[in-house]
Amino acid sequence: MAMTNLPGDLWRKILEMGVERSGGLDHRDLVCLSISCTLFRRLSSEPLLWTILLERDFPSSPLIHTPNYSPDKSLYKNLFNMHKTRRLVARRVRIMKLKSLIAETSKRLEGLNRLLAEEHSHLKSLMKNIADLEKFRCTSVAQNVWQPELIRTSQSKMLVQTNLSFESGFNVLKMEIQVCKQQIMNYRKAYEVQKLKLAQSEKALIYFKYHPVHGSSLEKDVNYDKIRKRLKRESRVSCS
């Protein structure tokens, strides 16, 4: 006996059980059944089925708690379209926020790069100054040894012109170097944090812009191909 020859009440009960079952039939299944034959077209429009689906999929909707509530396929379609529109709007807002976050993070990385370059230049200058002081220290020691009187007098004049206490000068420079190195370390840590934040934001942006039918939405403002290649390299490194 063909399946369509079964009594309509039996099919109605089967569909009802399928909808009530967790992980069972949903609105897409009922739509597919409705175009298969006349019997299923009639049964798939049963208010009871759509009542179950409405209460399961949109339990917090005020429309299903009003006195004029009429559970049918059209009401489900309206609620579904409203929900879909809200999701699309939320998705666009999320994408805009991610783009803004990527731009801000990129600016922070550029600023940290500048600060790192400045600190490295400052450290190089401090190291040169401490090397110069070391030369003067050697000169100071040399004048107290076997140098002839003429050379010793010349070196003494040089030291007087500098007007600098060697020990205090060395201590000051060493402290500045320590501070500079600590600052470089802090900037590097901040740079790594922002770099990770940027990578996570770019991954999230790719995820939210992905469409299973049309693929990734490639735009001029974000080089997704470059990002994908970089993420692929990172994943290979992490797995090795």
Q: What is the pLDDT of residues 147-202, one digit of tens each?
A: 555 555 555 555 555 545 667 777 888 899 999 999 999 999 999 999 999 999 99
Greater confidence, 201 or 64?
201
Domain locations along the chain: 3-71, 91-213
Q: What is the pLDDT of residues 24-41, one digit of tens each?
A: 787 888 888 888 888 878
Amino acid identity of residue 212, one-letter, is: P
Does the pLDDT at position 8 exceed 60? Answer: yes
Give the pLDDT score at 1: 44
Distance CA(124)–CA(117), nearest Å, equals 11
Please indicate, yes or no, whether the overall pTM of this predicted structure exceeds 0.85: no
Q: What is the pLDDT of residues 81-115, one digit of tens each?
A: 888 888 888 888 988 999 999 999 999 999 999 99
Distance CA(140)–CA(158), nearest Å, equals 10
Of 41, 34, 40, 75, the closest CA to residue 55 belongs to 75
Within the chain, strands assigned E span 210-211, 215-216
Q: For residue 141, what pLDDT band results from cuts at 50, 70 and 90?
A: low
